[in-house]
Structure 1
Amino acid sequence: MPLLEIRNLKVEFETASGPFKALDGVDYTVDSGEVLAIVGESGSGKSVAMLALMGLLPDTATVTVDKMEFEGRDITKLSATDRRQVIGKDISMIFQEPIASLNPCFTVGFQIGEALKVHTDLSSSDRSRRVIELLEAVGIPEPKGRLSSFPHQMSGGQCQRVMIAMAIACQPKLLIADEPTTALDVTIQKQILDLLLKLQEESGMGLIMITHDMGVVAETADRVVVQYQGRQMEESDVLTLFESPKHPYTKALLSALPENATGDRLPTVSDFREFLESEAKKVSA
Structure 2
Amino acid sequence: MAMLEIKNLTVAFDTAAGLFKAVDGIDVSVDGREVLAIVGESGSGKSVAMLAVMGLLPATATVTADVMNFEGKDLLAMPANQKRAIIGKEIAMIFQEPIASLNPCFTIGFQIEEVLNQHMGLRGNAARQRAVELLQMVGITDGAERLGAFPHQMSGGQCQRVMIAMAIACDPKLLIADEPTTALDVTIQKQILDLLVSLQDRYGMALIMITHDMGVVAETADRVIVQYKGNKMEEADVLSLFENPQSNYTRALLSALPENAVGDRLPTVADFEDTDGGMSR
Counterpart residue number, 1:231: 231
Q: Does 1:118 align with 2:96?
A: no
After superposition, what is the alpha-carbon deviation per residue over 1:191-222, rounded to whole angstroms, capped at 9, x for unaligned? 00000000000011000000000000000000
Query: In the TM superposition, what is the alpha-carbon distance from 1:269 to its structure 2 partner?
Result: 2.5
Query: In the TM superposition, what is the alpha-carbon distance from 1:258 to its structure 2 partner?
Result: 1.5
Q: Does 1:187 align with 2:187?
A: yes
After superposition, what is the alpha-carbon deviation per residue over 1:47-84, rounded to whole angstroms, capped at 9, x for unaligned? 00001000011111111100000001111111111000
Counterpart residue number, 1:42: 42
AA paired with 1:37?
A
* Alpha-carbon distance in 2 for matches of 1:90, 1:9: 21
Counterpart residue number, 2:68: 68
Query: In the TM superposition, what is the alpha-carbon distance from 1:273 to its structure 2 partner?
Result: 4.5
* Alpha-carbon distance in 1 for matches of 2:87, 2:221: 23
Query: In the TM superposition, what is the alpha-carbon distance from 1:266 to its structure 2 partner?
Result: 2.2
* Alpha-carbon distance in 2 for matches of 1:158, 1:34: 26
Counterpart residue number, 1:205: 205
Counterpart residue number, 1:88: 88
Q: Which structure 2 residues correspond to residues 131-170 of structure 1 after superposition, within 5 A?
A: 131-170=131-170
AA paired with 2:223?
R
Structure 2 counterpart SS, 1:58: coil
In the superposition, relative to structure 1, how do residues 53 and 276 fare at CA in structure 2: closer, same or farther (>3 Å)?
Answer: farther
* Alpha-carbon distance in 1 for matches of 2:60, 2:278: 29
Q: After the TM superposition, which segments of 4 or more aligned residues of structure 1 sit over 4 Å from their partners?
A: 273-276
Counterpart residue number, 1:259: 259
Query: In the TM superposition, what is the alpha-carbon distance from 1:268 to its structure 2 partner?
Result: 2.9
Unaligned segments of structure 1, at least 5 residues: none
Q: Number of paired residues?
A: 281
Structure 1 counterpart SS, 2:96: coil
The TM-score, its normalising length taken from structure 1, stands at 0.96
Unaligned segments of structure 2, at least 5 residues: none
Query: In the TM superposition, what is the alpha-carbon distance from 1:151 to its structure 2 partner?
Result: 0.1
* Alpha-carbon distance in 1 for matches of 2:33, 2:155: 30
* Alpha-carbon distance in 1 for matches of 2:78, 2:18: 31
Aligned-residue CA RMSD (Å): 1.2
Q: Flag the structure with higher helix content.
A: 1
After superposition, what is the alpha-carbon deviation per residue over 1:8-36, rounded to whole angstroms, capped at 9, x for unaligned? 00011111011101011001010010000
Structure 2 counterpart SS, 1:265: coil
Query: In the TM superposition, what is the alpha-carbon distance from 1:277 to its structure 2 partner?
Result: 2.8
Q: Does 1:21 align with 2:21?
A: yes
* Alpha-carbon distance in 2 for matches of 1:276, 1:246: 20
AA paired with 1:71?
E
The TM-score, its normalising length taken from structure 2, stands at 0.97
Query: In the TM superposition, what is the alpha-carbon distance from 1:267 to its structure 2 partner?
Result: 2.1
* Alpha-carbon distance in 2 for matches of 1:100, 1:108: 13
